[in-house]
Amino acid sequence: MSLLQELQERSGNQCELCAEKNDLKIYEVPPISTGGVDGSLLACGTCIGQIEEPETTEANHWRCLNDSMWSEFRAVKVVAWRMLHRLKSQGWPQDLLDMMYLEDEELRFAQSTGEHLDESEKIIHRDVNGAILEAGDSVVLIKDLKVKGSSMVAKQGTAVRRISLDHENAKYIEGKVGPTQIVIITDYVKKMAEKE
C-alpha cells in the first residue's frame, strides 16, 4: 500500500486538519527525518498553503483545530500545535493550547522547527556570509573539516542538503555527508542558492 493510500484510509479521504474532501495532498511535517505515515498527514491545498506561507494565514480557517487537535496521530497533533502557537495572539488558540496534551516526544517534534518561539527568543543560524540558514536548506563546506570521532574528512566544496538546526546553539547545524550525519559549525558553510 502506498503512503497516499495509507493516509487516505487513515483519514477517511479527507483533510486531517479541516475535513475538506478536495485537493488533498501528502504533507510531510518538517523537519522531515522520518516522513512516512508517522511524519506525514493528508491535507488540502488551503491548509498546506497557509502552513507553508504564514503571511497568508486566515485565523478563522483554523478554528477546525478545535476538532483535529484531538487526533490520535502524531503528525496531525504536531501541526495543530504549531498552528495554534502561530495564531495564539488571537486569543482562542491559546485556550485550545491550554487544553492540548502532547507526549514528550511529540512535543520535541512540535518544537523542533522553533516556530513556537517569539522572535526575540529565536536562535538565528547564519552562514559565513551572514545569510540566514533555515531547516531544509542546502549548504556547501568552505574548508576541509575533520569529523570528530572518525578518520573521515569532509572536503571543501561538499554539498550538505536538507540541514537541520540546533535550537540551543546558533553555531551548530546538522546534515549528512555521504551516509554519515555530522554536526557542522556554521562558520564553515555557505548557503546554496535555491535552484529555480
Quick: pLDDT tens for 35-73: 788 899 999 999 999 999 988 999 999 999 999 999 999
Residues 6+ apart with CB under 8 A from 34: none
Which of helix, strand or coil describes residue 153? strand
Distance CA 161, CA 173 (A): 11
Question: Is the separation of the CB atoms in 102 and 73 below 8 Å?
Answer: no
Distance CA 16, CA 26 (A): 10
CATH of 123-191, one of 3.40.50.1220, 1.10.1060.10, 2.30.30.40, 1.10.645.10: 2.30.30.40
Task: Name the residue ranges covered by the structural domains of the chain.
Answer: 3-111, 123-191
**Per-residue pLDDT at 118:** 58
Residues 6+ apart with CB under 8 A from 87: 57, 59, 62, 93
**Per-residue pLDDT at 190:** 94
Residues 6+ apart with CB under 8 A from 146: 152, 153
Q: Which residue has the higher pLDDT, 99 or 120?
A: 99
Report the percent of the chain where pLDDT is more than 90: 55
pLDDT band at 102 (very low <50, low <70, confident <90, very high): very high
